Amino acid sequence: MSPNGPPRAAPQAAALACLLFNALVWGLSWWPFRQLNALGLHSLWATGFAFALSTAALALWRPGAWAALRRRPQLLWMVLAAGVTNAAFNWGVMIGEVVRVVLLFYLMPVWSLLLARWLLREPVTGAALARVALAIGGAAIVLWRPGAGLPLPASLADWLGIVGGASFALVNVLVRRHRDDPDEARALAMFVGGFAVAIAMAAALAWLGAIDGPPAPAWPWIAGNVALAAALLAGNLALQYGAARLPAAVTAIVMLSEVVFAALSSVGLGGETLGARTIVGGLLIVGATLLASLQSGATPEPAHAPGDPR
């Protein structure tokens, strides 16, 4: 064995463990959002409060991040995209079938192709079109219901999963477009978006009477929200550590374990069932994302990933 083997293997193992931890956090995130909703705190309020706490923690840890963000107004689009990603995904898994929402969220190869062509002028290759066809085919199988006609989104949760995935694809494209900006500025943009967009949406919907306002301060939901914020921040830091030490393709592949964690937890904790159509369609969607991840590994990536925007 090479004398350099063990020292190199240990950091890689730690990096993989961190990526799996981040995937576990997001694969289980639906459960605390539902528990907080049962206490009267809608997922939009919970998302906003959790990311406000995380933003404060990040600002204390990296005090120069605010100045770096203010000097880069172009990152406003990342703020909005990351905010929509969080709000849509967390709302979707709160009200819908967890695996269904997560799978529709992972239709990213479709949106990434269109957005990369539009914003980065990347060529559309035959392999990319094949991945899109695979993902759309998987989505059609997941969405198809006997006698319902075209396999279109059938609920608000379906649409939230799709919108969240499209926003996540936009975040990824914007990260590549602004890869020369400081890591802390991009990370702060995502955290700011996480609370600003969710709070704005929650306030607007509460004003319209579509959702309730936040409940009166009470220990159960406050403690739950603080714990959720700590978990999301820990997951993001774990992703930062792991993504900075592993190839981009490996990071993307390991992050797909979120689908497995979501499926297992939704069955074990949520009482959901996985039908044959969901499994087959899910395999096609995950396969398309996996192929896109392997392809992206052949291209240069930023030295440090800014983290999952959700």
Helix runs in 75-125, H state only: 76-95, 98-105, 108-119
* pLDDT (0 to 100) of residue 301: 41
216, 217, 219, 223: CA torsion to nearest 10: 110
What's at 119, amino acid-wise?
Answer: L
Residues written for the chain: 310
Place of tokens 């409060």: 49
The residue among 23, 17, 8, 10 whose CA lies nearest residue 261 is 23
Structure tokens at 175: 């990260």
Alpha-carbon span 90 to 82, nearest angstrom: 12
For CA atoms 92, 94, 97, 99, the dihedral sign is positive
Within its chain, how far is the Cα of 182 from the centroid?
21
* pLDDT (0 to 100) of residue 303: 36
Domain residue ranges of the chain, discontinuous segments joined by +? 10-296
Alpha-carbon span 176 to 149, nearest angstrom: 39
Within the chain, what is the greatest distance between any pair of CA atoms? Answer: 66
* pLDDT (0 to 100) of residue 148: 64
Which run of H or of E encompasses 37? helix 30-38
Assessment of whether the complete model's pTM goes beyond 0.95: no
* pLDDT (0 to 100) of residue 296: 60
Mean pLDDT per block of 10 residues along the chain (310 residues) reads 53 90 96 96 97 90 90 95 96 96 92 89 89 93 79 92 94 88 89 96 97 95 95 89 81 89 95 92 92 64 50
